[in-house]
Structure 1
Amino acid sequence: MRYIIKKFFMTIITLVVVSFCVFLAFSVIPGDPALKKLGMEASPELVAQVREEMGLNDPLVVRYYRWISAFVKGDFGTSYSYNKPVMWLIAGKIPNTIILGIMAFLITVVVSIPLGIFTAKHENGVIDRVISVTNQIIMAIPPFFSGILISMIFAGVIRLFAPKGYVSYKDNVPGFLWYLLFPAVALALPKIAMTVKMLRGSVLDEAGKDYTRTAYSRGNRTNEVLYRHVLKNAMIPVITFLGMVLADMVAGSIVVEKVFDVPGVSTVLINSISNRDYPVVQTIIMGIATIVIVINLLVDIVYCVIDPRIRIDE
């Protein structure tokens, strides 16, 4: 229990530090939000008045406290460019980004775990070597480039889907999921390669320990030892890694959204950065950071539950 409480407080501290860094970064970037809101032809007097109304003349600490207090309450401010609440801009885009990240995570789990176990069982075999080489190649390719290749092959050559043929889940759920499958695969590929490599190494490491040899000496078959003894311990570090993968999937989905023209958070983020619409950018970045940090906290808790040795060490 002390371990979980400690991790919880560390998470709160991390969120506070990250939020301050995010706010500070956009406070020191050159550019006047008031001038951006009014236009370059606005008079200095009007700009000064709007700066005062927007609270831009207040000390940094005061502005940060006002912003983070509102953020915690669910008030993310008003867009400079559209003069509308930030939530109004991103609410319709959030489901696409989250669903894409979850789909990529599920693909990673479904493909990598059986493949990792298979390569460990057939260590140094032909298939194991082929998969190992393939993994190295895939890990070297960034998701956005994988997305381009997948789009060229499956849209341009095989024609399994239409480029920029996104269908909203409100209109056609099967069509929506089918279209998201391809960016999800692009996002999942490097994580699949990493997870396969990690699980293979973890299984082989556990297979060489004394308890495994004891299990064999009692007459257990290879599959019995693997699935009853080895895999249980081998999965502990992999589960932790998959938790980090889930956090990365939600954040990383922004990378492939642009390639496949998925109307997710990436569209709003890129446009807002170009327009120096800081309230929108701050909200999106802080939202992603919060998701990543909270998922890591949950992973730590799960890790503590499945491996009691951590509580003893703490």
Structure 2
Amino acid sequence: MKYAMKKLLMMLGTLLVVSLCVFLAFSVIPGDPALRKLGTEASPELVEQMRQEMGLNDPLIVRYGRWFIAFLGGDFGISYNYSTPVKEMIANKIPITLTMAIMAFLMTVLISFPLGIITAKHENGILDRTILVINQVIMAVPPFFSGIIITFVFGLILRLFTPGGFVSYTQNFGKFIRYLFFPSLAIALPKIAMTVKMLRGSLIDEASKDYARTAYSRGNNTNGVLYRHVLKNALIPVITFLGMALADMVAGSIVIEQVFSIPGISRILLTSIGNRDYPVVEAIIMGIAIIVMVVNFLVDIIYRIVDPRIGLEDE
């Protein structure tokens, strides 16, 4: 309990620091949101009046405090460009991006775990070497380029999906999931390759330790030693990596959305950056940061459950 509370307090402290950095970063970027909203032909008096209405003339610390308190209350502010609550602008986009990240994560777990175990069991065999070579190739290809290849092969040649033919989850959830399968695969591929390599190495390392040899000496077969003794310990570093990978998949989804013409968070984010629409950009970046922090917090808790020795000094 003490360990979890310590991690929770660290997460809240990190949230405060991140929020301050995000707010300050967009406060010092050149460009006047009021002038952007009114246009370059607006008079200085009108621009000054707009700045006053937008609260841009208040001291920086006052603006930050007002924004952060409102954010904690679920109020992300009003878009400078569209004069619309930010929450309404991103509410129906977040499920798209999160669905892609979750699908990519599930693909990573479901594909990499069996492959990692198989390669470890057949160390230095033909299958092991073949998978390792494929892994190296996949890890060398950026996700956005994988997305282009997937679009060309599965979309244009095999016609398993229609590039650009996105279907919203509000219209047809089944078609929505089917369309997101290939973008999610593009996100997952490098993570799958990394997880296979990591799990394989961890399994081989654990299998060489004394407790595994003792288990063999007691008459356990390879599968018995692997699944009853080795796998649990081998999963500890893999769980940490998967936690970081899930957080990275959320950010990666934004890039892949552009490749597959998916109307997710990415379109609003890029448009808002160009328009100096800071409330929208700040809300999206803070949302991504919160997801990353929550995932890391859950990973720490799971890590402790898998290995109770972790964090004993905090008890």
Q: Give the TM-score of the pair, scaled to structure 1.
A: 0.98
Moved more, 53-62 or 25-34: 53-62
1:130 corresponds in structure 2 to 130
Structure 1 CA distance for aligned equivalents of residues 149 and 274 of structure 2:
27
One-letter amino acid matched to 2:158: I
What amino acid maps onto 2:9 in structure 1? F
The residue aligned with 2:183 is 183
| Secondary structure in structure 1 of the residue aligned to 2:41 | coil
C-alpha separation between the residues in 2 aligned to 1:126 and 1:313? 45
Matches for 1:1-314 after TM superposition, within 5 Å: 1-314=1-314
3-state SS of 1:42 partner: coil
Structure 2: runs of 5 or more not aligned = none
Offset of 1:126 from its aligned partner? 1.1
Deviations 1:101-156 (A, max 9, x none): 10000000000000000000000011111111111111111111100010011011
User: Residue 312 of structure 1: CA displacement?
Assistant: 2.3
The alignment yields a C-alpha RMSD, in angstroms, of: 1.0
Q: What SS does structure 2 have at the residue aligned with 1:309?
A: coil
The answer (yes or no) to whether the contact 1:155–1:162 under 8 Å persists in 2 is: yes
Deviation at 1:313, TM superposition (A): 4.6
- Note the alpha carbon deviations across 1:136-190, whole angstroms, 9 max, x for none: 1111111111000100110111111111011112222221111100000000000
Where does structure 1 lack aligned partners over 5 or more consecutive residues?
none
How far does residue 81 in structure 1 lie from its aligned partner after superposition?
A: 1.0
Are the equivalent residues in 2 in contact too, given 1:112–1:192 (CA < 8 A)?
A: yes
Size of the aligned set, in residue pairs, is: 314
- Does the CA contact (< 8 Å) of 2:232 and 2:306 recur in 1? no
TM-score, normalised on structure 2?
A: 0.98
Q: Give, in whole Å, the separation in 2 of the partners of 1:14 and 1:40.
A: 39
Instruction: Write the letter of the residue equivalent to 1:251.
Output: A
CA distance in 2, matches of 1:175, 1:7: 40
CA distance in 2, matches of 1:53, 1:202: 58
Measure, in 1, the Cα distance between the counterparts of 2:175 and 2:294: 31
| Deviation sequence 1:50-85 (CA, Å, 0-9, x none) | 111111111111110011011000110111111111
CA–CA distance in 2 between the matches of 1:259 and 1:269?
15
Amino acid at match of 1:18: V
Tell me how far 1:2 sits from its aligned partner: 2.3
Q: 1:72 to 1:110 in 2, by over 3 A?
A: same
CA distance in 2, matches of 1:230, 1:313: 26
Q: Report runs of 4+ in structure 1 exceeding 2 Å deviation.
A: 311-314
SS of the equivalent of 2:311 reads helix
Q: Which amino acid aligns with 2:199?
A: L
Looking at structure 2, the residues matched to 143 and 68 of structure 1 have their Cα atoms a distance apart, in angstroms, of 34
Is this contact kept in 2: 1:251–1:292, CA < 8 A?
A: no
Q: What whole-Å deviation, never above 9, does each CA across 1:18-69 have from its counterpart, x for those lacking one? A: 1000000000000001111111111101111111111111111111001101
- 8 Å CA contact 2:108–2:192 kept in 1: the answer is yes
* Aligned residue identity for 2:252: G
Percent pairwise identity: 68
Give, in whole Å, the separation in 2 of the partners of 1:252 and 1:186. Answer: 10
